[in-house]
Amino acid sequence: MRYGPLDVLNGIDFEIRTGEVVALLGPNGAGKTTTIEILEGFRTRSAGQVTVLGLDPARGGEQWRARLGVVLQSWRDHHKWRVRELLQHLGRYYARYATPEFPRPWQADELIDLVGLSAQADKRISNLSGGQRRRLDVAIGIVGRPELLFLDEPTAGFDPVARREFHELVHRLTDIERATVLLTTHDLAEAEKLADRVLVLAGGQIIADGSPDDLALRLSAQAEVRWTVDGQRYVHPTDEATAFTRKLFTQYGEAVEDLEVRRANLEDTYLTLVEEHEQ
Amino acid sequence: MNGLQTARLGLARGGIELRQTFTYGPDLVAYLFFPVIDLGVLFLMRGHQVPGTSFSLGSLTLPSVIGLGLAFGGLVGVTAQLCSEREDGTLLRAKATPGGMTGYVIGKICYISAGALAGLVGTLVIGLIAFAGLQLTLGGVATLAWVSVLGLLATIPLGIVAGSLLPNPRFMPLVMLPFGAIAAVSGIFYPITHLPDWLQVVGQVFPVYWVGLGARAALLPSSLASVEIDGSWRLPLAFLVLALWSLLGLALAPTVLRRMARHESGSRVAARRERAMLRAT
């Protein structure tokens, strides 16, 4: 993919299997949105081969489009419409693409209930709160019961409660619908929570690909041990957490309190990866 | 079959939007603003006579205003809607839906046409009641019908082209000002025959003059054709000019629209949102 003389994506190669939840991570300008928009069929690539649900997105027709869900960030579109009215209307476009395996669309009321907007079903969209609007965005994205769902920074600007609710919603979706999901995010805790697999994109290339645990293990064997003895708090980084903890017990026995062994989390891993890449 | 289903969805969309306009205060005010002002002005002009006749100037102008309203709705209405709904992401949502773009465009055409025709009928009814001298014969109804349909056909596709080309709603003056200028030389409020020759030619190039002329032909007594160019309603020529504009618009609109839609994506809408937010703060 190229903007003018600049290649934004270069030699990226990955595969997402049915039912997987994959998070695409990377610093700003790494090419996450470009990647996702090429896959959505909203952007044409300058080179390379892409197959989404068996077809090239640049040539995917309406039938292909019906199997995708794209969660867009709303702004003020359809602000005069009411929640149920819009979901019912948009759902009707999917009816002709229903299959026994994927009955399309979702019943509007069922969907409204799923995203927790029942009390707002007859409200004008302009009267929804920011969090409610985002949930409506998700509902619109999945109204056609997509086999593949794209979420581009779905929780940007959420408060912690809205974020937690959104995560529960995605879990429900992947559990009930077994949909395949590709999401981008800057929130590493979010990726760790939602994704089966993480792709790290930096400088237009994939620099890591694996489950959050795999990546943490692969990159850093180091752990952090924290404990208290006689009310005094200690922190010690170590490569051999087990041996170290054992020594601790030998030395202090029962006096060791509040013991914590903390593996590197996805955030540590991610920061290490990006830093290495930049050097 | 699929096309028919999509057309039905578009029709439903147009219906929903029309209902929203007529049940939403601010929209209703915007919709009624110009017609009410126009009718008010015409009402005050009732007492004045068309020079050289005993016919009321208000009654003469009313059909022209009906024509102007139709062209305004078709061109400016579509441009404004397309432009702002592209900025706010409505179009991108349509693009993300199977058949959504076709449904959106059909919906928009229905919405604009129905809105313009409702305005036409409303103004017409008030005109027939409150303005002396207007008459509606069976032949007049037929003339008004084809002039309206062709008038919308000549302007809506042009509106789609303009709406696709304008970068954002802040550029609307680029369409409004030329439209105003064209309307001024189209014999709506001021007889075209009183303009310099070259302005008469300019006025007759564009659809507004011909829609106004057609409406006058439909609603005024035939004797008033005498104040027109050539002393005639020139309906065959009106048909020809409007048909040519329709063909031009229909030839351009799908290509321009598709080109615009192809470039819509989440990041584009996000970028526009950011720019608009910066302006707002």
Question: Across the interface, do A72 and B97 touch by the CB < 8 Å criterion?
Answer: no
pLDDT tens for residues B2-35?
Answer: 788 999 999 999 999 999 999 988 889 988 888 8
CA distance A149 to A249: 49
| A85 to chain B: closest CA residue | B16
* Cα-Cα-Cα-Cα dihedral sign, residues A31, A36, A42, A46: positive
The helix (H) or strand (E) run that includes residue B20 is helix B2-22
Mean pLDDT of the A69-97 span: 92
A153 at B interface, C-beta within 8 A = no
Which has the minimum average pLDDT: A60-64, A275-279, B65-69, B250-254? A275-279
Q: Are B235 and B142 in contact (CB under 8 A)?
A: no
Q: How far is CA B97 from CA B163, B180, B237, in A?
A: 21, 37, 42
Angle between helices B57-72 and B207-219 (to 10 degrees): 130
| B-interface mutation test, from A9, A35, A83, A90, most B Cβ less than 10 A away | A90
Chain B residues in contact with A79 by the CB 8 A cut-off are 88
Q: Does the pLDDT value for residue B281 go beyond 90?
A: no
A75 touches chain B (CB under 8 A): yes
DSSP A100-126: SSS--S--HHHHHHHTT-GGGTTSBGG
CB–CB of A65 and B97 under 8 A?
yes
Per-residue pLDDT tens over the stretch B259-280: 999 888 888 888 888 888 888 6
- Under an 8 A CB cutoff, do A93 and B2 touch? no
pLDDT in tens, B210-233: 999 999 999 999 988 988 999 999
Is A37 within 8 Å of B265 when comparing Cβ atoms? yes
| Structure tokens that stand for A269 in this block | 């891993």
Q: Does A62 touch chain B (CB under 8 A)?
A: yes
Q: Where are the alpha helices (DSSP H) in chain A?
A: 32-40, 62-65, 83-92, 108-114, 130-142, 160-177, 188-194, 212-219, 241-252, 266-278
Contact B89 A77 (CB under 8 A): yes
Whose tokens are 């009930």? That residue is A176
Which residue from A224, A243, A242 is spatially nearest to A234, judged by alpha carbons?
A224
CA dihedral A188, A191, A192, A195 (to 10 degrees): -170
Complex-level ipTM: 0.89
Residue A105, preceding bond cis, omega within 30 degrees?
A: yes
pLDDT surpassing 70 at residue A240: yes
Residues B214, B67 contacting (CB under 8 angstroms): yes
pTM of the predicted model as reported, rounded to 2 decimal places: 0.88
The reply to whether residue B265 touches residue A94, judged by beta carbons under 8 angstroms, is no
Give, for A71, the enclosing helix (H) or strand (E).
strand A68-71
